[in-house]
Structure 1
């Protein structure tokens, strides 16, 4: 570790600008999706999708295809299978674990065959924000528009289905279809986040900022805004610290996100447990951790 006196100049380089834009796009989508990941108890699915995408990335390396394409195909495919096979929490976890085991086996096989690209495989595991290319930025931008646009259309019924799926289904809300759509959107988010923090550190952007936000408020809109803000701060500060001491940004992004979460825990330590009942007259105030979910 060494301090770089020219860190301001480093931040102005092309690869740092690509990292800043790409990391910001990932932070926006991860922050928005984080609320639903927690309320729907999909943290394990988010973690599993990152590992399900690993054989897609290593397979792409093996055949010379873009890594992002391989990640997207396997993450979205795995997400569809999880959404179709797992309606309830217990069913979903069984389906997720089974698909994860098979995908991990494929990842080991493809990684062993692609030994000439060991550095790229390492980037998939731990992320390499500084390696984001201009073409990947365009792809990230398209994914972000798709995720944000889809959430804008389904946010209200998805919140309802996440908090009380039984009542939502009784009122005609397409709970199963919303679940599948959500997992696909999560898969696209994971595809981007893996290239920032890697499969092993994914929670730092997808879960931790939303968990911190939920300690401060239970309003979905406020949680989403705070979660995005925390994720953006983690990426921006992480990049600055990386430029200052010449170390991989993944470590700093994760460290800042965890630090924000710890600070919020300390600030809110005297608060009582959040109520599990939505506000009267609507679902604008929701519990941090619902009792039942699909």
Structure 2
């Protein structure tokens, strides 16, 4: 439980750091795909007798490099992502059929297991989180500029293509961490849902990232506590808390928008407004 709390907190902080850019850059599909691209790496590592996390990370980073280098525009990126995802999924099934010990590995990769985090994984999480924090701090302003308005940023001389590749590699590292906590199928609950909630609450990037990290940490803590009390898988409870917070904020936001009337111009004023005719 101690390793789960520490490891889950580190993963939640990393998810809050990267989640904002995932939502703003509309990379939700790429984020989900990278988790599945890492599946053949984990199962292939079982065949080679090495830790599955090494294969998972290697395939995630490799897939991120391909998607970032070949998918400059959103339409191209989706096509490349879908193609790489399809090939990686087939490769994962092939490796799984060859390895008799890969069934438990596939289960952990698909659904995650916070309670199985080891001391070595805690060290790896800490190192990866430090790398993510340092890299995001170095490229924060140009990455934010390129994420909000890529054409204008490119016209101003911002290396949009290089930043896209760098971001995809950083995303692969974050996915590698999050998969071990909640699995590929529940990945969005930590990387996307809290960030989307933070963006609804504030337009400021730094505040939205802080709110996303706080929601992720609260989800992990509450999920682990409830799991110990009710003997329920922690990943399910973590996802439930994160999605519940998002649904509450979304409902309040929609209700506030429906109550606020849209500004209108009075009919009489619109009809009697003076007009100017062109003069010679």
- Report the TM-score, using the length of structure 1 for normalisation: 0.86
Q: Distance in 2 between matches of 1:149 and 1:96?
A: 27
What per-residue deviation string (whole Å, max 9, x for no partner) do you get for residues 12-33 of structure 1? Answer: xxxx111111111110111111
Residue 220 of structure 2 corresponds to residue 235 of structure 1: yes
Match of 2:176 among 191, 212, 228: 191
Residue in 1 aligned with 2:28?
43
Match of 2:235 among 250, 260, 272: 250
Larger mean CA deviation between 260-269 and 99-108 belongs to 260-269
Q: Distance in 1 between matches of 2:22 and 2:250?
A: 19
1:66 CA drift (Å) = 0.8
Alignment of 1:196-211 (within 5 A): 196-211=181-196
Larger mean CA deviation between 116-125 and 177-186 belongs to 116-125
Whether contact under 8 Å (2:5, 2:220) holds in the other structure is yes
Structure 2: unaligned runs, 5 residues or longer = 259-280
1:247 CA drift (Å) = 1.9
Match of 1:132 among 104, 117, 126: 117
What per-residue deviation string (whole Å, max 9, x for no partner) do you get for residues 189-227 of structure 1? Answer: 000100111011110001000011111111100100000
Whether contact under 8 Å (2:198, 2:208) holds in the other structure is yes
Residue in 1 aligned with 2:49?
64
What per-residue deviation string (whole Å, max 9, x for no partner) do you get for residues 127-170 of structure 1? Answer: 01111111111111110000011011111111100011111111
RMSD: 1.1
Q: Distance in 2 between matches of 1:125 and 1:70?
A: 15
What per-residue deviation string (whole Å, max 9, x for no partner) do you get for residues 84-113 of structure 1? Answer: 000000010011011001100110011112
Alignment of 1:1-294 (within 5 A): 16-272=1-257
Q: Distance in 2 between matches of 1:90 and 1:263?
A: 32
Secondary structure of the residue aligned to 1:32 is: helix
Larger mean CA deviation between 83-92 and 119-128 belongs to 119-128
Q: Distance in 2 between matches of 1:201 and 1:88?
A: 27
Q: Distance in 2 between matches of 1:71 and 1:266?
A: 37
1:265 CA drift (Å) = 1.1
Larger Rg: 2
What per-residue deviation string (whole Å, max 9, x for no partner) do you get for residues 61-96 of structure 1? Answer: 222211111111000000000000000000100110
1:272 CA drift (Å) = 4.1
